[in-house]
Structure 1
Amino acid sequence: MVELLAPAGDFESLRAAVLNGANAVYIGGKEFSARASAGNFDRKEMIEAVKFCHAYNVKVYVTMNTLLRNDEIESALEYASFLYSQGVDALIIQDTGFLKALREHLPDFELHGSTQMTAHNLDSVNTLYEMGLKRVVLSRELSLDEIDNIVKNTKAEIEVFIHGALCISFSGQCLFSSMIGGRSGNRGRCAQPCRMQYSIDNKSERLHYLSPKDLSTLEFIEKLVGTGVHSLKIEGRMKRPEYVSTVVSAYRRALDNNRREDDLERVTQAFNRGGFTTAFLFGRQGRDMMSYERPKNWGTYLGRVVSSRGKFASILLKKPLRVGDGVEIFNKNTGAPVGSIKVNGKDVEEAKAGETAVIYLEGANKGDVLYKSLDIKLVREAEESFKGKNIRKVPIYGRFTAHKGQRIKFEIYHLSEASSQSVSDEPERALKAPLSVERALDALSKTGDTPFYFENIDVDMDDDIAIPVSKLNGLRRDAINSLLDELQGRREYKKIHFKLNAAAKKVKPEIAVQTGRIEIAEAASLAGCDIVFFGGDRLRINSGSFEEVLNTVGRRTAVYPWYSEIIMEEYKKLEKEAEGIKGMGVDRALCGNMGFYSALKSMGFDVYLDKGFNVFNSQACETFKNCGALLSPELNINQLKNTVLKTNNKTMVYSYGRVKLMVSRHCPIGSSRGHGREGCPDLCENKIHYLKDRTGEDFPVVTDWYCRSHIYNSKILCSLEHIKDIMDVNADYMLLSFLDETPEEAELVVKAYREAIDAAWEGDFNLTHSGERLLESLKGKITKGHLYRGVL
């Protein structure tokens, strides 16, 4: 049976999920969770959560899906050991270094790969499975056919999202919030710049071009189940319990072939951003996928204001309106709860569709469009499911034995085959009124606010004994508590001893250049770089083939192919290309994609790890066999230095370039012009476009030949004036990445870094003439990134 997996940001949401039919829940602790703003569970609450869920035969997965610094790994392992000992069913993780440490120290703990791991092709899934992940959560960009192909060709359990908020970027590959505000999505603190307004190419219209609608597959759930996926995941650890209740119950009914006619309307009312989208399940949706006008909850269309008088508005209703509902004026983003309603001059509790209702609504004018932002009836129904008197409970079975000369025993049996018992001193002979079977059952059957009810209790007792009710109550409480403990599934706590070994070294870094343009490769080579990584994202602005670059630049500079973090429909083509390059005698490559890394290794390549691997700690440097790993641009100078110090592997530091902020399978350029679907007539015009934010910053947008969009920082990261600090990191390579520079600009950058490194190696940290020229040319365009701030 397919698993329905629900979110829970706090205990009330957990109850809502479980009591409305979830088979499993995913929750975060107060430590290392990628939803730092959710309520989350402290250690005591975590234990209670496991007991509650396991009583209902519901699994508990805990999210530890953040990137970890070196100084956090030991405490993360200790927390993981605590979770393991308390019966948590699995961890959901992102950090590959943490994965390596968990497999070494807690080999029996079930691990799931977060969607933050960006698994979007078959080889990436199989690689993660071979590394010890039982389950992989796929990227939300995949089509139904792509999901089907992965499921049919892997041993890993596959989990997919079916409902809730979407990231416009491939999860795990977004640095937008991090680079512009210091709040990292990889650390659970995304500030959601995708929900802000932008203009495109300096046009006056400003809309929410990066804000997608929420995903809903309620109408197509059978198609997803038909692929054979193991788990269906609802997003929403930041959502209220009423939302969780409404959405989980709707999908539960759909999976059980017991739908309500109004289920889609109910989940729409619970939360939507202008309707729903199926994302990429059935192909690119273009503008239909997006919520340009408004990035937050819309509610459902209520009607229009036909007249207003003072602070009161008359509304021609398209759906019922009740006292307690919430309404909003759509084009003004203002609203209010409905405190009273008049229809034909009379006070009513509910106005029907088609009627004209008068309500207090300050600021409303004739013609305003109104939405119902909250439906009080739906909220109360949802609350009743997890707070009411008739909430769903789990049947248990009891056996009570009481005979003279023997200890009293109360045994309880759970459907999962778990059992418990409590015992007490032998009963006394009754001097007056003996204990009756009815009285015993009355005392033993009370389960209060526990998850259980007694389906049946067998009573085997003498008819002339006396047992106080207080003793019966104690037996019942002890037996139920013991059953909860048994169901919790505690395991031995393993004390973790973790240490990273220092590997002090001093190296003169080489200069490595990233580019997809042959003219830049030639200029960089002539200026003195040591390595050219060529290819990358197959951007439409790129020029030249790898063979051409090898035949020209390769005569004086090492040239290796570069494969980006996202590889989808072009996978087989790139495999064939890589085999051809290997045949040219090239034996190294730079790669950001976990699946393609495996393909390259199988061909005999030594691989440098690119940004897509999110190398955040020394363990991650050593998780994959590599000849150099690019350290995360989210690390500050001290963290970079510590990471390099505690690994024997070679490392790279991002030293110059426009940091890529996100990559999306959605094209905002084509979408903004009414297309963005399959077969788009190249509306991006093969040039660089720009998104301008509210502060006037221009973020370059470049599309590739597969219609994915790549958005880069408005500022250029340049560490040249801090060459002493960068040299002290002792990384083996400084990486210079080029996007929109001219050959002359690229030559100046490489020359300035070449001279600076050579001088610094001799103890001279002053700017050279080339360095001064470079900094002057970049005046007002430079960012230091996270070199001196890091991320939260």
Structure 2
Amino acid sequence: MLELLAPAGSMEAVAAAVQNGADAVYLGYGDFNARRNAKNFSQEEFAAAVSYCHVRGAKVYLTLNTLLTDRELPQAAEFAAQASALGADAVLVQDMGVVRLLRQVAPDLPVHASTQMTLHNLDGVKMAAELGMTRAVLSRELSRDQIEYICQRSPIEIEVFAHGALCMCYSGQCFLSSIIGGRSGNRGLCAQPCRLKYGWGDKADSNPLSLKDLSLAGHLRELRKMGVACVKLEGRMKRPEYVAVVTGIYSRAIKEDREPTAEELEQLRAAFSRQGFTQGYYLDQQGPDMFGVREEEKEPKELFAMARNTYQSGEAQRVPVTFYAMLRPGEPTRVGVEDLQGRVVTVEGQVPEAARTRALTAEAVETQLSRTGGTPYRCVKVRSLVEEGLSLPLAALNALRREALDGLTKQREQLPQRRQGEFHPGARYENRKEPLALTISVRTAEQVTGELLALGPAMVYIPLEELAAHPEKVQAPAGTKIGVTLPRVAWDREMDQVTDQLRLVKDLGITDALIGNLGMAPVAQKLGFTLRGDFGLEVYNSQAVKEYKRLGFSSLTLSFELKFPQLRDISKSLDTELITYGRLPLMLMESCIIKNRTGSCNCQNTNILTDRKGARFPVVKAPGCRNELLNSQKLFLADKAADYRRIGLWAQRLLFTTENPRECVQVTQRYLDQGSWSPNEYTRGLYYRDVE
């Protein structure tokens, strides 16, 4: 049976989910989760939610799925330890530093890989398993054949999103909200700028980044047959009535092994949609009809009133129990109750008397014990031994039933016995004092010229497709190494080509691979490349650095969402580099917005997306026919070198995207203190300003 996982942004939403059939709920406790604007639970509320759910046979998953700074880790450790002690059934994470921390403070608490980890291929899922995770939440962009491929070979459980809002960007790879608005999606405060208007000319007159909500209602049996363990409903920011409606429809369909009816589909649309729903990614049928916006509609008052009734007026009697009763002369009456997990409670009452008129029958005892209305329990069987000629007041039987069920509730509320440890940040490494090396990453092979290489960068990273197509680019003067940049996203159906291209460049003498996703590390490692971490790994704290070191990485690119003092304070147990120039990547998109606009592939030309303020964002081709949205302004820090040269880095990186070969040379010269080039417009990025 598919597990149904529902969102809970409040205690009322917990009740709404559970009373409507959710097998588990996910909620935030403390400040470190991907919906910090939701009503996150206090310690008392969290304990109450766990108790409420466990009594009714539902699980509780804690969301701890944001990137954390070194200063935040001790408090996160405290939250995790408390949540484990309070009975949380699992914790969802994004940050590799948090993964490491959890091993220390809550080693018995199961860990799930959040969709924010951008796990989208089998190797990524296997890496999650090696990290000790028991479940991976896949990227929402995957098609059904790719989901099935992973499910059939995965060593751990697979969870997929089945209903709710779709991000335009691969989760965990979006920097649009933080770069343009100072509110990071990776920190749980996405401002949803993708829902705003943009345009391809000078006018922001359409919504090319606003996807319709996802709905896989209609594919539930297929998902179960594939081997999906859990389907997830999105919506911790939504009201409890919405949670009740959507959970109820999905729960009934799953339990009855059917798909939702036409009436239920209409109720899903009425509860919330953006001009309907899409299954475009799942069906591998992408295009303009996947997009939509929220239109002002009347609240479905009648639907929501019915929904409120499901969780405000009594119990859904979710937990099946078996009763036992024994009435014998001269002995106290015994009543027992047992749940499916084998918990048994037995209670004793008064001694039955000899019947004066009408004797108590086994049928009467069974009828009385079956009356569990108003409780979370549903009687499925009664086994009774009632000897003849005995009498007992029905009120006494009722009292024994209530006492037995109260005892069972106490047992179901019992907290698990788990080990608890302390968080130890470990040894601090002194920051490097040596002069910074200079590394360069390019988007096209033509950007790498003899003139550029003559400037002596320590490393030049060239995309895998480009390097495989231009083998002559592996030649570099002494002191400069050519490395290969792997795609941040490559589905399993693309991995044969990736592997062949990697073998090709390895045979050409390339030894260094720049990795931006966990799922790309195994193939590079297997072929003997030196692993270097790119910005897509989201390295935000010292513990993440240590974890990547443990996994065999030789260097890491630190997150460009951190300020200089935070970057300085990271204990650098590995060589680290920082992007100090370039158009920062804001979104990595599976859906080709260029093709959506023109109807044909047109990414060789310049494509510019304009926002309401007139800012112009280049859209470029990413590996695998994907799109990447780049910042409207270039990050420029050549005149601020004193600020980043003292934070202990191994190298600074120049990120070349839309620059022509001549510009690449000019920029590099400026960063080597030669010449006076500077961009017309530029940004200092987030290195000097707080990101929420």
TM-score by length of 2: 0.89
Structure-2 residue corresponding to 1:274: 275
- In the TM superposition, 1:136-175 aligns within 5 A as 136-175=136-175
- In the TM superposition, 1:121-520 aligns within 5 A as 121-202=121-202, 204=203, 206-255=205-254, 256-257=256-257, 259-291=260-292, 295-296=293-294, 298=295, 372-389=297-314, 391-396=316-321, 412-420=337-345, 450-452=375-377, 476=402, 480=406, 483-492=409-418, 494-505=420-431, 506-520=433-447
- In the TM superposition, 1:95-110 aligns within 5 A as 95-110=95-110
User: Is this contact kept in 2: 1:440–1:472, CA < 8 A?
Assistant: no
User: Is this contact kept in 1: 2:474–2:508, CA < 8 A?
Assistant: no
User: Is this contact kept in 2: 1:560–1:590, CA < 8 A?
Assistant: yes
Does residue 1:682 correspond to 2:601, yes or no?
yes
Structure-1 residue corresponding to 2:459: 531
CA 261–208 in structure 1, closer or farther in 2 if over 3 Å, else same: closer
CA 429–218 in structure 1, closer or farther in 2 if over 3 Å, else same: closer
d(CA) in 1 for partners of 2:35 and 2:411? Answer: 29
d(CA) in 2 for partners of 1:121 and 1:397? Answer: 44
Q: State which structure, 1 or 2, has the greater radius of gyration over its C-alpha atoms.
A: 1
User: Is this contact kept in 2: 1:420–1:486, CA < 8 A?
Assistant: no
d(CA) in 2 for partners of 1:210 and 1:266? Answer: 26
d(CA) in 1 for partners of 2:271 and 2:664? Answer: 52
CA 748–159 in structure 1, closer or farther in 2 if over 3 Å, else same: same
What SS does structure 2 have at the residue aligned with 1:728? coil
d(CA) in 1 for partners of 2:378 and 2:496? Answer: 57
Q: How big is each residue's C-alpha offset from its partner over 1:613-650, in whole Å with a ceiling of 9 and x where there is no partner?
A: 1111112112231111000111111110111xx23211
- Counterpart residue identity of residue 132, structure 1: G
CA 573–443 in structure 1, closer or farther in 2 if over 3 Å, else same: closer
Unmatched segments (≥5 aa) in structure 1: 299-332, 334-371, 431-435, 676-680, 756-768
Does residue 1:599 correspond to 2:523, yes or no?
yes
- Counterpart residue identity of residue 150, structure 1: I
* Pick aligned residue for 1:749 from 647, 667, 678: 667
CA 405–219 in structure 1, closer or farther in 2 if over 3 Å, else same: closer
d(CA) in 2 for partners of 1:253 and 1:454? Answer: 20
d(CA) in 2 for partners of 1:152 and 1:72? Answer: 38
d(CA) in 2 for partners of 1:422 and 1:507? Answer: 75
- In the TM superposition, 1:539-558 aligns within 5 A as 545-551=469-475, 553-554=476-477, 557-558=480-481
d(CA) in 1 for partners of 2:391 and 2:283? Answer: 73
What SS does structure 2 have at the residue aligned with 1:589? strand
- Counterpart residue identity of residue 286, structure 2: Q
- Counterpart residue identity of residue 457, structure 2: C
Q: How big is each residue's C-alpha offset from its partner over 1:150-179, in whole Å with a ceiling of 9 and x where there is no partner?
A: 112221211111111100100000000011
CA 223–410 in structure 1, closer or farther in 2 if over 3 Å, else same: closer
User: Is this contact kept in 2: 1:398–1:412, CA < 8 A?
Assistant: yes
d(CA) in 1 for partners of 2:609 and 2:172? Answer: 22
- Which has the higher mean CA deviation after the structures are superposed, 135-144 or 664-673? 664-673
Q: How big is each residue's C-alpha offset from its partner over 1:12-31, in whole Å with a ceiling of 9 and x where there is no partner?
A: 22222222222222222133
Does residue 1:785 correspond to 2:685, yes or no?
yes
TM-score by length of 1: 0.78
Structure-2 residue corresponding to 1:691: 609
1:373, CA displacement in angstroms?
2.7
1:437, CA displacement in angstroms?
9.2
User: Is this contact kept in 2: 1:657–1:718, CA < 8 A?
Assistant: yes
User: Is this contact kept in 2: 1:51–1:485, CA < 8 A?
Assistant: no
1:573, CA displacement in angstroms?
1.3
What SS does structure 2 have at the residue aligned with 1:735? strand
1:414, CA displacement in angstroms?
2.4
- Which has the higher mean CA deviation after the structures are superposed, 122-131 or 380-389? 380-389
d(CA) in 2 for partners of 1:186 and 1:90? Answer: 20
CA 444–47 in structure 1, closer or farther in 2 if over 3 Å, else same: farther
- Counterpart residue identity of residue 533, structure 1: Y
d(CA) in 2 for partners of 1:7 and 1:21? Answer: 12
* Pick aligned residue for 2:485 from 562, 567, 573: 562
* Pick aligned residue for 2:624 from 706, 715, 719: 706
d(CA) in 1 for partners of 2:457 and 2:154? Answer: 42
d(CA) in 2 for partners of 1:197 and 1:592? Answer: 30
1:380, CA displacement in angstroms?
1.9
1:693, CA displacement in angstroms?
0.9
d(CA) in 1 for partners of 2:221 and 2:323? Answer: 40
Structure-1 residue corresponding to 2:356: none
CA 531–262 in structure 1, closer or farther in 2 if over 3 Å, else same: same
d(CA) in 2 for partners of 1:180 and 1:642? Answer: 25
d(CA) in 1 for partners of 2:621 and 2:183? Answer: 26
Does residue 1:23 correspond to 2:55, yes or no?
no
User: Is this contact kept in 2: 1:656–1:736, CA < 8 A?
Assistant: yes
Does residue 1:627 correspond to 2:554, yes or no?
yes
User: Is this contact kept in 1: 2:160–2:232, CA < 8 A?
Assistant: yes
CA 473–79 in structure 1, closer or farther in 2 if over 3 Å, else same: farther
Over aligned residue pairs, what C-alpha RMSD do you find?
A: 3.3
- Counterpart residue identity of residue 241, structure 1: P
Percent same amino acid among aligned pairs? 33
CA 460–650 in structure 1, closer or farther in 2 if over 3 Å, else same: farther
1:688, CA displacement in angstroms?
2.2
Does residue 1:87 correspond to 2:87, yes or no?
yes
d(CA) in 2 for partners of 1:445 and 1:153? Answer: 45
Q: How big is each residue's C-alpha offset from its partner over 1:735-772, in whole Å with a ceiling of 9 and x where there is no partner?
A: 110111233322222122223xxxxxxxxxxxxx63xx
CA 649–404 in structure 1, closer or farther in 2 if over 3 Å, else same: farther
Q: What is the number of residues matched between the two proteins? A: 676
What SS does structure 2 have at the residue aligned with 1:729? coil
Structure-2 residue corresponding to 1:49: 49
User: Is this contact kept in 1: 2:438–2:651, CA < 8 A?
Assistant: yes
User: Is this contact kept in 2: 1:699–1:713, CA < 8 A?
Assistant: yes
Q: How big is each residue's C-alpha offset from its partner over 1:88-112, in whole Å with a ceiling of 9 and x where there is no partner?
A: 2111111112112323443322111
d(CA) in 2 for partners of 1:253 and 1:476? Answer: 29
1:611, CA displacement in angstroms?
1.0
What SS does structure 2 have at the residue aligned with 1:687? coil
What SS does structure 2 have at the residue aligned with 1:627? strand
1:251, CA displacement in angstroms?
1.8
Q: How big is each residue's C-alpha offset from its partner over 1:640-671, in whole Å with a ceiling of 9 and x where there is no partner?
A: 0111xx23211111111111001101122221
